[in-house]
Structure 1
Amino acid sequence: MEKETVRIENFSDAVFAIAITLLVLDLRAPEINMVKNGAELLVFLKSEWTTYLAFTLSFFSIFIMWVNHHKIFKQIYSRNTAIMFSNGLILFLVTAVSYPTALLARFFNSEASSIAVAIYTGIFVLINISYNLLWFIASHNKKLLRPGITDSAIKKITNNYLYGFPTYLIAFGISFQFPAVALTICMLLLIYWALSSGKINMNKNED
């Protein structure tokens, strides 16, 4: 069976690359008149720790989203309008990550941290929903999937994405009171997605 999703995947790869590149724009060097010596430069760099945190967290989040996107499309062989639009929703949200990242970088160490973290965790709630939507559409029509994929493999992939939704939702809920804890949950979920991405690289002959 010939794979019909190559153009979707190529376009998606380009969007992921642009989204991850946009994150760099919020990294800034000090103006030359702001720094007179090495000590002042170190003080400036230390004051930018929230920017480095936000950049690192978002960079690896988008990278792992790209990995999982690739894994999903190893299972999807055919396309329809719903597949294309649900994938478009993922790409829309991925390109939007740079904005809450900028808010997190600027306000995490301030009195507005709860709102900044809520917006940041909220975007990942929506991204998780969009991934679940893409897989829901694909998995409910086996003609769209690769030949030979088993029901147990489909169920494993479904569960893998469903587990993340309530956790992201909890992180979003507690971000209004405990923003640091909410961000820690996002970091742990990042590790979870990194480790679990292999679970959706199913063997054709799996029962």
Structure 2
Amino acid sequence: MSTRRIETLVDGIFAISMTLLVLTIGIPSISGYVSEATFQQQIATLAPKIGIYALSFWILSLFWRVNHRQFHYIKRVDRNLITINTIWLLFVALLPFSTSLIGDYGQYYTSNVIFNLNMLLIGLLYSLNWYYATEKGLVDENLDEKTIKFLRRSNLILPLLSILAIILSFFIYTWAEWAYVLTPIIIRIQRH
């Protein structure tokens, strides 16, 4: 079975999820007389929501990009790979909800744990997708073992950072999700 249909579905889910993320910011609700200073204060209170929006958007964009890299090598799909991808997309589509939750209730560790569990499941399923495709011979026959192993290791970065963020959620919950900004640094270290 061709990969084209699943790639189209992935593009659609990512486009919708990334667009819905902006709705997690919301407009401040101000009643009564509003001065310019009051309005500016209310806008300033959106900073944490804008921050988590930007982080979630960035993470989704990374996943979209690396998914395309993965499917550059994956040449065929079977029923199981479609199932793995569908479940993966379920958690990708859930990210606007968990982002909204942490944007509105980031001061509670439960909302941080839910967000980071969402990220963990996205990362684990993404990693499983590559592992399954390489084990079942669904990838390009000319793909070397070194690239396969490198991508397997790279795919574990998000799950490991998610576990770190879950642990941090119990101690510094308002900053735990920022563990994900370590991703490019870890990738750079891994390449060397």
Aligned to 2:123: 128
Q: Which runs of 5+ in 1 are unaligned?
A: 200-207
Residue 100 (structure 1) shift: 1.2
Task: String of CA shifts for 1:153-199, please: whole Å, max 9, x gaps.
Answer: 1111111112432332122122112214522312323x348x66xx7
Asked whether 1:171 is paired with 2:165, we answer yes
Over the matched positions of the two proteins, sequence identity in percent amounts to 23
For residue 119 of structure 1, what is the amino acid of its counterpart? I
Residue 146 of structure 1 aligns with which residue?
Answer: 140
Instruction: Summarize the Cα distance change of 1:150–1:46 in structure 2 as closer, same or farther, 3 Å threshold.
Output: same
Secondary structure at the counterpart of residue 119 of structure 2: helix
2:34 maps to 1:36: yes
TM-score, normalised relative to structure 1: 0.83
Query: Mean alpha-carbon deviation: is it higher for 17-26 or for 28-37?
Result: 28-37
Moved over 3 A (4+): 30-35
Q: How does 1:56-205 map to 2 (within 5 A)?
A: 56-108=54-106, 110=107, 112=108, 114-142=109-137, 144-189=138-183, 191-192=184-185
Paired positions, count = 189
Letter in 2 for 1:120: F
Structure 1 Cα separation of the partners of residues 42 and 173 of structure 2:
24
Give the aligned partner of residue 202 of structure 1: none
The AA in structure 1 aligned to 2:100 is A
Residue 31 of structure 1 deviates from its aligned partner by 4.8
Letter in 1 for 2:44: K
State the 1:35 CA deviation.
5.7
Q: CA RMSD in A?
A: 2.0
TM-score, with structure 2 as normaliser: 0.89
Are residues 163 and 60 of structure 1, via their aligned partners in 2, closer, same or farther at CA, if it must alter by over 3 Å?
Answer: closer
Question: Residue 62 of structure 1 aligns to a residue in which SS?
Answer: helix
Q: CA offsets per residue over residues 85-118 of structure 1, 9 Å max, x none?
A: 111111100000011111111122x3x2x11211
Corresponding residue of 2:7: 9
